[in-house]
Amino acid sequence: MAKAKKLKSGSWRVRVFSHYETVDGMEKAVYRSFTADTKNEAEMQALRFQNDRKRYNKGRLTVSEAVDKYIDTRRNVVSPATIREYSRIRDKHLGKLGPLMVADVTSVELQEYVSDLSADMSAKSVKCVYGLVLSSIRQYSDRVYKVRLPERIPPTYHVPTDAEIKLLMTEAKGRLKLCIALAAFGTLRRGEICGLRHKDVLRDFNAVYVHSDVVKDENKQWVHKDMPKNSSSIRRVELPPDIIALIEDGDPEERIYSGTPTTIDHTFYKLRKRLGLNFRFHDLRHYAASSLHAMGVPDQYIMERGGWSTDSTLKSVYRNTMSDKSKVFNAKAVEYYSGLLEGAPEDPKRDEKSS
């Protein structure tokens, strides 16, 4: 058993292995810390924790119970929307794996479980479900599992063109116009738009301060939380003065858009259907990232403006080439190569023979 070490504060602390978590595709060991006033007390807390883990490993905990405990331990450290998704997976997708004892779960059971899920779900959804199940199991088992997940087929997203954005901005009215502008020119997500308060509008800088979100909790109720999707999403986004002018003055604590993300989707759907457009509101964020990329803005600054924690999303989703920009660049390429061919012999082989 690990020994307690004395801290500068005078307390004693013991660190013991808890479980493995998968972070960005890599397994990471997670440790638990136990701190107490005395060395003996700290070590006793750690010993009780280790004994509990051994008891669960002997088969006294089902997969369903492990998932419940996993959700409970993360209730105060992850987004309400994440807890809602965990709960949905627990209620709908554990299937025959749920009643099994953790100690009885092998790679074979998990592979069969993944295969069953893959029959009706996308590769991305299977990965999410399996990730929750595996993380839950690993809290109480040190066993190594070898499971092959389905290959994920990169989705094809539509990136709106400049002309389509102009059309939307011309036809949209009131709050919807503001929402479209914040997404297409400011990279804001729906929840971030709904989370903006009047005090977050920095008029002297023609910017908005993004630091909150509106999401559904596990009870499917819309809640306002101070932290957006991730810590990198806290940012100041500068915008054209005309966009800032669309935001009316109001009580500092009041939200600039009183609706919900679903309200945004519904009103946007009506507008784009009337205009004959076929893309989602979230695709406006694709436009923002792709237009910045087309301008030659480095990924680092695109990530900063859009609140992305890594460039993996940019590489897999947001670096789609806008169709109108693509035509311009393709035309330049054809023109350049055509210039190289001017004056070149039509049949190089025939030219070689004559020489």
Together in a domain, 230 and 123: no
Q: Annotate the chain with three-state secondary structure.
A: CCCCEECCCCCEEEEEEEEEEEECCEEEEEEEEEEECCHHHHHHHHHHHHHHHHHHHHHHCEHHHHHHHHHHHCCCCCCHHHHHHHHHHHHHCCHHHCCCEHHHCCHHHHHHHHHHHHCCCCHHHHHHHHHHHHHHHHCCCCCCCCCCCCCCCCCCCCCCCHHHHHHHHHHCCHHHHHHHHHHHCCCCCHHHHHHCEHHHEEHHHCEEEECCEEEECCCCCEEEECCCCCHHHCEEEECCHHHHCCCCCCCCCCECCCCCHHHHHHHHHHHHHHHCCCCCCCHHHHHHHHHHHHCCCCHHHHHHHHCCCCCHHHHHHHCCCCHHHHHHHHHHHHHHHHHHHCCCCCCHHHHHHHC
Q: Residue 56 pLDDT more than 80?
A: no
Together in a domain, 74 and 169: no
pLDDT confidence of residue 25:
65
What does the block give as tokens for 202?
């920095």
Together in a domain, 101 and 218: no
Q: Which has the closest alpha carbon to 6: 31, 49, 14?
A: 14
What is the C-alpha to C-alpha distance for residues 14 and 195, in angstroms, rounded to an integer? 41
Which whole-number Å values give the CA distances from 81 to 28, 249, 272, 317, 338, in the listed order?
24, 30, 27, 22, 54
pLDDT confidence of residue 13:
93
Window from 59-68, 112-121, 301-310, 313-322 with minimum mean pLDDT: 313-322
Inside any domain, residue 123 = yes
- Single-letter residue type at 218: E
Together in a domain, 206 and 299: yes
Together in a domain, 93 and 195: no
Window from 5-19, 202-216, 225-239 with minimum mean pLDDT: 225-239
**pTM exceeds 0.75 for this model:** no
Mean residue pLDDT across the chain: 85
Together in a domain, 169 and 288: yes
Inside any domain, residue 146 = no
Together in a domain, 258 and 131: no
Which residue would you say has higher pLDDT here, 78 or 130? 130
pLDDT confidence of residue 146:
92
Together in a domain, 115 and 256: no
What does the block give as tokens for 204?
């002297």
Which one of 97, 122, 138 terminates a domain?
Answer: 138
Inside any domain, residue 169 = yes
For position 320, which CATH number holds?
1.10.443.10
Question: Mean pLDDT over residues 232-259, rounded?
Answer: 92
For position 32, which CATH number holds?
1.10.150
Could you list the residue range(s) of the whole structural domain that residue 126 is in?
5-138
Together in a domain, 134 and 167: no
pLDDT confidence of residue 289:
87
Inside any domain, residue 155 = no
Inside any domain, residue 245 = yes
Inside any domain, residue 331 = no
Together in a domain, 314 and 183: yes
Together in a domain, 311 and 178: yes
Which one of 138, 171, 199 terminates a domain?
Answer: 138
Inside any domain, residue 121 = yes
**Total domains, the chain:** 2
Question: Mean pLDDT over residues 200-218, rounded?
Answer: 92
Inside any domain, residue 340 = no
Together in a domain, 99 and 202: no
